Amino acid sequence: MINIVLVEPEIPNNTGNIGRLCVGTESRLHLIHPFGFEITDKNLKRSGLDYWVHLDWHQYQNVAEWKAQIPDLSRVFLMSSHAEKSYLEADFQDGDWLVFGKESVGLSQEVLQQFENHLTIPMSDKIRSYNIANSVAFVVGEAKRQIMLK
């Protein structure tokens, strides 16, 4: 199972779409407070449709609480547009943690400094970033592909 981590998600529709993706890919969703919405937000439920009840998800009050329960910190991969290594170069394994920052600014330097594995998603220089739900789909798809081949 892949673990998807959203640090301080801001937009309920994105989180709902990612939750739906997690149900479809049998991944677990981890949400780290503060959120830019309430879990009961109708937009979250609308985006996740009726799949939200099937979602395996956990929430944490802060990064430290989440980090404390990770069995192997070397299997945590942080997505950053400033990273030099592409997610396509990573060697993913079952149980890995894929971490994404908030939509407006990504992951903070404080969070990035706590982990070694930083990855980027290659993109044209004509855009600043991809939508977070699309970014999660790219990386989860590659991770699942690699795991299935092992």
Q: What are the strands, taking DSSP E only, across 3-103?
A: 3-7, 28-32, 57-60, 76-79, 97-100
Binding positions are 79, 101, 121, 129
Q: How distant is the alpha carbon of residue 143 from its chain centre?
A: 12
In the block, residue with structure tokens 């404080």 = 110
Q: Which segments are annotated as binding site for S-adenosyl-L-methionine?
A: 79, 101, 121, 129
C-alpha of 149 from chain center: 22
Residue 101 to residues 50, 51, 79, 122, 145: CA-CA distances in angstroms?
25, 23, 8, 17, 23
Q: Find the DSSP H helices in the chain.
A: 12-25, 42-48, 63-67, 109-112, 132-149
Cβ-Cβ contacts under 8 Å for 43 (sequence gap 6 or more): 12, 13, 16, 37
